[in-house]
Amino acid sequence: MRALVTGGAGFVGSHLVEKLLDRGDEVVCIERPGAHRGWIEGLDIDFHDCGLGETALLGNLVCGADVVYHLAALTEARTPDECYEVNTQGTANILKAAAGCACSPPKVVFMSSLAAVGPAPEGGSLTADTPPRPLSHYGRSKLHAEAVIHAYADRVPAIICRFPALYGPRDRVVLKLFSMVARGFALTIGPWDREISILHAADAVGGLIAAANTSGAVGNTYNLANPHPITWGEFVMAIGHALGRRPLKFAVPVIAARPIALVAETVALLGHRAAVLNRDRVREISQARWVCDPGSAMAEIGFQPRFSLDAGVAETAEWLRRNQWI
């Protein structure tokens, strides 16, 4: 099996590349121009930093694959246009290349996000049929990318996999929370009883591969998450247990976080870089319920998360300690 992975040097992508190699696949990786190999340095892969532009090389690489795992995306962008250029137009370029293959097009597995749908209603869970109402440019760019995939449905076999908050070794986003807890405190925006679905990176990889291996999955959208939602407070306490700390929890009111985010956006704009905290992020973080139902993925593609909350957090904490990240 020849697999093409976009964004293969990233957090989830690097774990996916390793898993594909372990099972004997031939792996091709596409990264943004000038990108370093990072976690996949030294692995037996065919690496290209050509990006997702409409180039002849992109077309050749796509058409030479049996399956394309499209993970490349921007979660933080300097401008909204940059977000749509990578997340939406980049996806359109992949699908256009696949549709133009002289022989059968490869199967495309697209890594989307719950942000494309928006938060769950009170007491409910997001499903593949939930009417979308994304709250951010990131979420809208992902929803537009999903629309591109649907537009090519008659020419390219594709599966959409939507993910919740992900964590695990190599993740620098949740690392911030682990680092705070290691110092004895934790900070969030809004109340700690906000509910979320989560998923360990290894289980995310398992879900992507399961989708690719299931012929009946083509044309479907799946939510991939641990079936047991938690609160942010429970997540922090699990981290504290793994690190042997009882963190003091602080909550910044949303009304106070918004002007802070505006200042962060302005400073980032002046520095020509992406803002880690912005008003879109505050709007998403502060929602009461980001919970999805992975039932159809479990029933139809055999998706079975292996990591419980405690086991996944403990494994992540051990990796962070071993690599001196905390």
CATH code of the domain covering residue 78 = 3.40.50.720
Do the domain assignments include residue 127? yes
Domain assignment present for residue 250? The answer is no
Q: What is the pLDDT along the chain (326 residues), one digit of tens a residue?
A: 999 999 999 999 999 999 999 999 999 999 988 888 889 999 999 999 888 987 788 889 999 999 999 999 988 777 888 889 999 999 999 999 999 998 889 999 999 999 999 999 888 999 999 999 999 999 999 999 999 999 999 999 999 999 999 999 999 888 999 999 999 999 999 999 999 999 999 999 999 999 999 989 999 999 999 999 999 999 999 999 999 999 999 998 988 888 887 887 777 777 777 777 778 888 888 899 999 999 999 999 999 999 999 999 999 999 999 999 99
For the chain, the three-class secondary structure string (H helix, E strand, C coil) is CEEEEECCCCHHHHHHHHHHHHCCCEEEEECCCCCCCHHHCCCCCEEECCCCCCCHHHHHHHHCCCEEEECCCCCCCCCHHHHHHHHHHHHHHHHHHHHCCCCCCCEEEEEEEHHHCCCCCCCCCECCCCCCCCCCHHHHHHHHHHHHHHHCCCCCCEEEEEECEEECCCCCCCHHHHHHHHCCEEEEECCCCCEECEEEHHHHHHHHHHHHHCHHHCCCEEECCCCCCEEHHHHHHHHHHHHCCCCEEEEECHHHHHHHHHHHHHHHHHCCCCCCCCHHHHHHHCCCEECECCHHHHHHCCCCCCCCHHHHHHHHHHHHHHCCCC
Structural domain includes residue 118: yes
- Domain membership of residue 150 (yes or no) is yes
Establish if 313 belongs to a structural domain: no
Domain count across the chain = 1
The range of the structural domain enclosing residue 147 comes to 2-168+199-227+290-306
In a domain, 155, yes or no: yes
Q: Is residue 83 part of a domain?
A: yes
What pTM value is reported for the model? Answer: 0.94
Considering the domain boundaries, does residue 38 fall inside one? yes
